Structure 1
């Protein structure tokens, strides 16, 4: 019975919380990557880290939004729960990849 209650609570998680979780995951991933850059090129500018941090955070929040839409409207879309979760994970990973590439283009990915 407890697992049914937990899965119901998980599905009913509000949009804002899902977007914050996605943004947090993305922020941690890009921060870990940016900490590996020892000597940034002077051509990148003094505040070169701002663009990747903002781009990835926004991509993570959008991934959380997509997760909310896919999970909560899966029955109208005709997906089973497992298919909706799988699709949500794939969309989130693709979104993080695009945010990663967009944020680092012109600096590390030059």
Structure 2
């Protein structure tokens, strides 16, 4: 008998990663739409395409926070206290990341 080595390479991009990134981006888009759609679009200082920056930057920040959430899986798999710490970190990272995305997205328009 001969021994077989089944070396399979695992892909970095998994369905769970894509799901978390898309959920993070969708939450970011929903939050920024809540703020942006309540404002008159004809502000003279902001220019014609002022909506593009917040609608791009904030979902990207949410997607990056979703990616960080995925990277915390190594702590979640340990269980116990480390799982609780990972979940708390995930929420804090997402909140700070989304806040930074909102600030960067609205810089020069509604944030001034």
Q: Report the TM-score range of the alignment, normalised by the length of the smaller protein.
A: 0.7 to 0.9
- 1:39 Cα deviation after fit: 4.9
4+ residue stretches of structure 1 with deviation over 2 A? none
| SS of residue paired to 2:25 | helix
Residue 93 of structure 2 corresponds to residue 91 of structure 1:
yes
Unaligned runs of 5+ in 2: 1-13
Secondary structure of 1:44 counterpart: coil
1:55 aligns with one of 40, 54, 57: 57
Of 12, 16, 19, which residue of structure 2 is paired with 1:17?
19
SS at match of 2:45: helix
Superposed CA RMSD in Å reads 2.0
| Structure exhibiting the larger radius of gyration computed from Cα positions | 2
- The aligned residue for residue 7 of structure 1 is none
Query: Which consecutive residues of structure 1, in runs of 5 or more, have no partner in the other structure?
Result: 1-11
Alpha-carbon distance in 2 for matches of 1:15, 1:39: 35
TM-score normalised according to structure 2 size:
0.79
Structure (1/2) with the larger helix percentage: 1
